[in-house]
A and B are shown apart, each in its own frame.
Chain A
């Protein structure tokens, strides 16, 4: 074991001393910790938190709030969360709550999801009347506050509730499906405080009233806040049934996103049949259902290094963490062929921050294809890697994975470059009727019948 030279920056303060354990003792101590942190009990052995949905139903009963319900028309499926509570996942009539990081930087993330939904005749709406959740900026800078975050949450979800009107549907026709893990975590945290604080509700009510976004004078709260990875999870048998490429030889590592399951952990999906119920089930369940091999690695629990502000202005931290704590471990321990994630910041961080490992010389260089679960699923189901999965935006060596999957990426890329000529002529393809993207305000025109 290497001796501590006295210059390690651990954050424990100057009084910190190395325990100087022998190699065997260190292994024993580490195993003791790992045996516990790798278990679901790490989260459940604490005092059980309340189910805020109970508070929500009570407030609705008292006439304080309105609830956007998941109804039969949304063809719901049930799942179980950390404490065994049931969560309802709508599977159709979905309002896409887009992610700024995905749309701006990894556009194949949402396009793969919409492509999968088209393949399964899922009804959805993607429109322009949506802001980001504003939480990336908030967590990075501190600009914003609980009131602004709550108002943005309620504005966007109210828009989802009324969005069907443009097509002649009743209120509540579309149900919001949140793409970003940070939006998902942030909205659930905000919901918790909204339901618990009459003062916060009153502050936000004034704002939503001014925006004309109350329902019968009440704040509208969604019955469930649903992440797209949860939709993929409940739809995994239907997705796997559409698989056209054998992926049984692919070794996949999963990076679970902090804001998906560490933030409001009681709402994350756990399944006894997936990783023995010890880790969050989304993504792993889908990748296993598709037939790929999900490989374990010791730093699965670590964050990606995104840090919100760090990826912009503390880049040494972000790239060091991504390379040394995630990518290198997945490659060396698990001999992974691909790392799969389910959140915006993680995919960006892990995908983009590999090239710089070359700076350490050939022995330090490390690389691994990185993509979102829905991109991998779309590829396995025959989606075009460039037109649909938009893999040209990925900096990591996704070509290696495509070769392993038997996809002739060079031919596909050449086909995409030819397609760009058609786009230049104004003949680009769309996953849905473009007229649907504006539901009110400037640019809105009522259409008789959408063409999908």
Chain B
């Protein structure tokens, strides 16, 4: 519990105390994970603090976020500062990569932020769990179907500020989708019709790359739901494969 302290006191510790809240070893683990990413050396080449990245950063207009600060913290190996930035600041970045395009050193602060976000998830940081809670619909859709957005996600209840014109033709969603002249798009629960075989292949990728572990760390309930969906789809696919074998056997008998 860190209810009484400021953010610095909560996550970094009292600056006049010898005992930081976060043990040095934990800070090193986090930083080492960031540095271990194969993209790290590609994304960080040096920094003269020129600030062109922050001057052009859309998130810096609206949040207490500066890509220059992120680069400086990493470049100077400021472990406490890096850890602190991972509690909130890194989630402000809009991932436009304008900073990367403009940096005279060829740094990519946007990509460094992605590495830090991955590591925040790996370490189960509460900040990551809090930030990603409203994003769970997208994750559920993506992991279970291979699509990130679906027509049934776009409705006035979820996007009240988009106004009344989500569709300017008054007809049921299913009918409007059937009126799209691409047969793969006549769907409502996925953006396009995804073959069962394709979904099963994607599950293999999630499993073999540790993505499901990430998900379990961040949201155990969501992980359980997705695992059930995956199991069901795998069984369906196995059944289809068996049917195929039976049909092949029948053909041979004929």
Residues of A within 8 A of B (CB): 9-13, 37, 42-43, 46-47, 49, 98-105, 107, 110-111, 114-115, 126-132, 134, 136-148, 151-152, 155, 159, 185, 189, 193, 196-197, 199-200, 206-207, 210-211, 213, 258-259, 261-263, 265, 301-303, 305-310, 312-313, 315-317, 319-321, 325, 352-353, 355-356, 358, 386-388, 390-395, 413, 416-417, 419-420, 423-424, 428-432, 434, 437-438, 440-443
Main secondary structure of the interface of A (DSSP, over half): helix
Find out whether the CB atom of A143 lies under 8 angstroms from the CB atom of B214. yes
Considering the complex, which residues of chain B in the window 11-46 have a beta carbon less than 8 Å from any beta carbon of chain A? 37-39, 42
Considering the complex, which residues of chain B in the window 151-190 have a beta carbon less than 8 Å from any beta carbon of chain A? 151, 153-154, 159, 161-169, 171, 175-186, 190
Can you list 12 A-B contacts (CB < 8 A)?
A: A103-B185, A104-B151, A110-B182, A111-B180, A126-B182, A128-B195, A132-B147, A132-B191, A310-B94, A387-B179, A438-B195, A440-B197
- Decide yes or no: A210 and B117 within 8 Å by CB, A143-B211, A392-B167 being known contacts: no
Find out whether the CB atom of A312 lies under 8 angstroms from the CB atom of B138. yes
Determine the residue in chain B with the shortest Cβ distance to A317: B62
B121 at the interface (CB under 8 A from A): yes
Which interface residue of B120, B195, B199, B240 has the most chain A CB atoms within 10 A? Answer: B195
Complex: A368 Cα to B168 Cα, angstroms: 16
B205 at the interface (CB under 8 A from A): yes
Determine the residue in chain B with the shortest Cβ distance to A200: B38
Considering the complex, which residues of chain B in the window 61-108 have a beta carbon less than 8 Å from any beta carbon of chain A? 61-66, 69, 91, 94-98, 100-102, 104, 106
Find out whether the CB atom of A137 lies under 8 angstroms from the CB atom of B148. yes
Complex: A13 Cα to B206 Cα, angstroms: 39
Chain A residue numbers with a CB within 8 Å of B162 are 352-353, 355-356, 395
B227 at the interface (CB under 8 A from A): no
Which interface residue of A46, A139, A321 has the most chain B CB atoms within 10 A? Answer: A139
Q: How many residue-residue contacts, CB under 8 A, span A and B?
A: 327
Find out whether the CB atom of B209 lies under 8 angstroms from the CB atom of A145. yes
B8 at the interface (CB under 8 A from A): no
Of the candidates A131, A261, A320, the one whose C-beta lies within 8 Å of that of B194 is A131
Find out whether the CB atom of A392 lies under 8 angstroms from the CB atom of B197. no
Find out whether the CB atom of A132 lies under 8 angstroms from the CB atom of B181. no
Complex: A289 Cα to B53 Cα, angstroms: 34
Find out whether the CB atom of B167 lies under 8 angstroms from the CB atom of A46. no
Complex: A42 Cα to B146 Cα, angstroms: 37
B149 at the interface (CB under 8 A from A): yes
Find out whether the CB atom of A303 lies under 8 angstroms from the CB atom of B94. yes
In the assembled complex, the CB of B215 is this many whole angstroms from the nearest CB of chain A, namely 6
B interface residues, how many (CB within 8 angstroms): 99
Of the candidates A101, A139, A430, the one whose C-beta lies within 8 Å of that of B114 is A139
B131 at the interface (CB under 8 A from A): yes
Chain A residue numbers with a CB within 8 Å of B128 are 142
Chain B residue numbers with a CB within 8 Å of A355 are 161-165
Contact flags (1/0) for B124-136 with A, using CB distance below 8 Å? 0000100110110
Complex: A261 Cα to B97 Cα, angstroms: 10
Chain A residue numbers with a CB within 8 Å of B131 are 309, 313
Of the candidates A319, A325, A358, the one whose C-beta lies within 8 Å of that of B58 is A325
Determine the residue in chain B with the shortest Cβ distance to A142: B117
